[in-house]
Amino acid sequence: MSEAEQALSENKELVRSFFEALSSGDLDRVASFFDERTTWTVCAVDILGAGTYTGAAIVEELLRPVRGLFEPGQPTVAIKNVVAEGPWVAVEALGRGRFRNGAEYENQYSFVLELEGVTIRAIREYMDTHYAAASVTRGTAETPA
């Protein structure tokens, strides 16, 4: 394996480890992939979590509140495909979980991650925003529809 191929393989493995940590709900472990300059952009408008978060705000203002809507240990992110080129890694994934009120959630995601060594420099997250918004409404209702 060439040096370039080895680097791409290591980048893919880092991203797989990140999503494994994210799915486990261990937000301290998730935070270890970031530094104060890391950004996570949820590419959406008018839904919970939309916008760009930097550094510690990624966990405290994005991940913790979103995960708080779900039963403990959820949602999980199952990777379907990973493609890498240089410091960039693209992921196709399925996010799945159960809200605290019992409503189910299952959405298709695409993530584009930029790596700098073993640090995630940036994440851009794409999803079916219509489904996500409707699901959060169902998931936060007294009784799921």
Q: What are phi and psi of 92, to 5 degrees?
A: -105, 130
Tokens 């300059």 belong to 37
Q: Where are the domains of the chain?
A: 3-139
List alpha helices for 69-141, DSSP H.
129-139
| CA 135 to chain CA centroid, nearest Å | 17
Q: Give dist(CA 135, CA 114) in Å, integer.
A: 29
Q: What is the pLDDT of residue 141?
A: 84
Per-block mean pLDDT, blocks of 10 residues, the chain (145 long): 92 98 96 98 94 98 96 96 97 97 96 97 97 91 68
Q: Please check whether residue 124 is in contact with residue 105, taking contact to mean a CB–CB distance below 8 angstroms.
A: no
Fold of 3-139: Nuclear Transport Factor 2; Chain: A, (3.10.450)
For residue 99, report the phi and psi dihedrals to the nearest 5 degrees. Answer: -65, 160
User: Whole-structure pTM over 0.85, yes or no?
Assistant: yes
